Chain A
Amino acid sequence: MNMNLTLIGQSIAMIVFVLFCMKYIWPPIVNALETRRKNIADGLAAASESGLKLEQAEKEAAEMVGSARQQASEIVEQANRRAVQIVEEARNDAIGERERQVAAAASDIEQEVNRAREELSGKVAALAVAGAEQLLGREINADAHTDLLDKLAAEL
């Protein structure tokens, strides 16, 4: 084995390669690894955080659904009550209206009867006068007997 200049040449080559590696190879690679490690750690943290948030949101949503359901049932109940009330009112109105109609019809009928009766009594008076004329054969003085005839008509 000859020891010779190769020894020094090899040393120089090694120093050059080490310096190159130190300056141009090691820092970018290690930086990238570090950055990636950090990114992954951040991602994992964000994922667990969003999991917590999701859980919370689900709880909130369940609460909201529950209260909405309660509200809805309240509203339905209210509406039912109101509907019953409206039906009741309508029935009362209808009954009132019917009574009013019946009363109006009754008064109409009464008026009509009165009128017919008056007319009839007038006609009866005239008929009685005409009959009496026939019977007596002479003319009754209408003016002289008006009082008598009116009294008769009122009695009818």
Chain B
Amino acid sequence: MASEGETQTAGEYIVHHLQNLTFGRHPDGTWGFAHGAEEAANMGFMAIHVDTMFWSVFLGVIFCWLFRKVAKNIEAGVPGKLQNFVETIVEFVDNNVRDAYHGDSKLIAPLALTIFCWVFLMNLMDLVPVDWIPGLVHLAGVEYQKVVPTTDVNATMGMALTVFVLILGYSLKMKGVGGFVGELAGQPFAAKSLVGKILATPINLILEGVALLAKPVSLGLRLFGNLYAGELIFILIALLGIWQLPLHFGWAVFHLLVITLQAFIFMMLTVVYLSQASEHH
């Protein structure tokens, strides 16, 4: 169902739906919105996905507002319904963090809560029928709109890189520079003699370096891949005319599991990585 009204092939429809609203510097040096995927690609790194940023910040603010509202009026007596709901989430996150992270950190638990709720809300945008918001903003004259921030690899990798920086920071803080480098160079092949160490160290550095770098990459790409695939299937279902109604419902029900699970996995992996970073092996 092409809400644009123009004659549009299925391929064009899909491509249009997968294009972010990009604001950046054109190759000729002027700043402006990109019209089409090619122009956006030509902007290179000096561009920003306005829709991704808007929706992610908007959803983050909703999370902060809702939880702050409860936190401000919280009382230890009989809780209200909203307070009950928020407390359930907080306790759920708190229990998981306690199970996975044994150190003493004021950052980990709030980080996990923020990640869980924020990623969940961003994933939840996937359940809004794919043409509603893009159709509305098209009426307002905006050409592209991708409403699910987690289907943008920039968003997921941005979060994963923040987590990666935290992993490095925790490693250095808990183990010191020597301990951290020693862990990278002295594993998995431990040698006792000097010759053995000279031989083992490069191999260890390569292996451990890959393992370390794999953490943020897998963290970000897992979330992106799952949500991108889910979004793509919603778009494909939207092409089916009247049959999209039962299919959309079925896929949305199934997708409810996916979005919750992915938010949970992102949170848990963050906690586990940080737990590994702050424990000596």
Contact = CB atoms under 8 A, between A and B. Distances in A.
A2 B22 contact: yes
A5 B74 contact: no
Contacts of A17: 60, 63-64, 114, 118
Interface residues of A, number: 31
Contact of A29 (B52, B71, B157): B71
B71 A15 contact: no
Interface residues of B, number: 52
Interface in A2-47: 2-11, 13-18, 20-22, 24-26, 28-30, 32-33, 35-36, 39
A142 interface: no
Contacts of B153: 1, 3
Interface in B12-67: 20, 22, 24, 40-41, 43-49, 52-53, 56-57, 60, 63-64, 67
Q: Is the interface of B mostly helix, strand, loop or mixed?
A: helix
A28 B79 CA distance: 14
A11 B46 contact: no
Q: Is the interface of A mostly helix, strand, loop or mixed?
A: helix
B48 A9 contact: yes
Contact of A4 (B45, B87, B159): B45
A8 B42 CA distance: 19
B192 interface: no
Given A10-B154, A28-B71, A29-B74, A4 B162 contact: no
Given A25-B113, A30-B94, 15 more contacts: A2-B154, A4-B43, A6-B53, A6-B155, A10-B155, A13-B60, A14-B159, A17-B63, A18-B110, A18-B111, A20-B64, A24-B64, A28-B72, A30-B109, A35-B76
Interface of B: 20, 22, 24, 40-41, 43-49, 52-53, 56-57, 60, 63-64, 67-68, 70-72, 74-77, 86-87, 90-91, 94, 106-107, 109-111, 113-115, 118, 149, 152-155, 157-159, 161-162
